[in-house]
Amino acid sequence: DAGITQSPRHKVTETGTPVTLRCHQTENHRYMYWYRQDPGHGLRLIHYSYGVKDTDKGEVSDGYSVSRSKTEDFLLTLESATSSQTSVYFCAISESRDPWGYTFGSGTRLTVV
Amino acid sequence: DAKTTQPPSMDCAEGRAANLPCNHSTISGNEYVYWYRQIHSQGPQYIIHGLKNNETNEMASLIITEDRKSSTLILPHATLRDTAVYYCIVRVGPSYGKLTFGQGTILTVHP
């Protein structure tokens, strides 16, 4: 998607290893979000950020941490990956807190073996 | 947030209008209706939103009933690229990303 890039696109990692996913935006939007999508659960919010160094937990934050040291980058870290964290991870950005106009990235497919 | 109900799947012929219904009978006065879609393997894409008036943009039209208990997303001339899962979301803004994406409607556009 224009203005938002996720990396890597695909990753396979072993249980117990740390993993960091990156979301990069060129839109200078204040708000950034990390979601995971699993069959039967739809999209679930992991963490979100409302500015540099300002982050908060979403509904499924256990086992995840985030950092935002620059406006354009929002990092999601799995400190010690588990098989239950196998999922597709989406980053999103928005200009405002309103639930419209979100732009989502193309996703990162993470497999923990 | 008000609960939404959508049919699990719908079909539409290419070039015809696709009308996707959403029931939100418990919607409150300050809740908006939002529509997103997700094309296979991609992130969701915002389509349109409204409060009580009908809305139209370059992608679609949103028709909200007078009692606001239901709405219809209209894709006026569906193409094969409109095949996707369509999500109807009811929410009071601001949300801090707390959008609830349910199961949505799988729209399949046929040649």
Contact B46 A103 (CB under 8 A): yes
B36, B46, B87: best mutation site toward chain A, by most A Cβ within 10 Å? B46
Each residue of A23-48: pLDDT tens digit? 999 999 999 999 999 987 778 899 99
Is the sign of the CA dihedral A105, A86, A51, B35 positive or negative? positive
Distance from CA of B83 to the nearest CA of A (A): 17
Cβ atoms A77, A107 nearer than 8 A: no
Each residue of B2-18: pLDDT tens digit? 689 999 999 999 999 99
Is the sign of the CA dihedral B34, B66, B7, B75 positive or negative? negative
B76: how many CB neighbours lie within 10 A of its CB?
13
B98, B103, B105, B106: best mutation site toward chain A, by most A Cβ within 10 Å? B98
Q: Could you tell me the CA-to-CA distances from B85 to A67, A78, B7 in Å, in that order?
A: 31, 29, 11
A109: how many CB neighbours lie within 10 A of its CB?
15
| Helix, coil or strand: residue A81 | coil
Contact B32 A99 (CB under 8 A): yes
Pairing, β B32-38 against β B61-64: unpaired
pLDDT band for B1, please (50, 70, 90 cuts): low
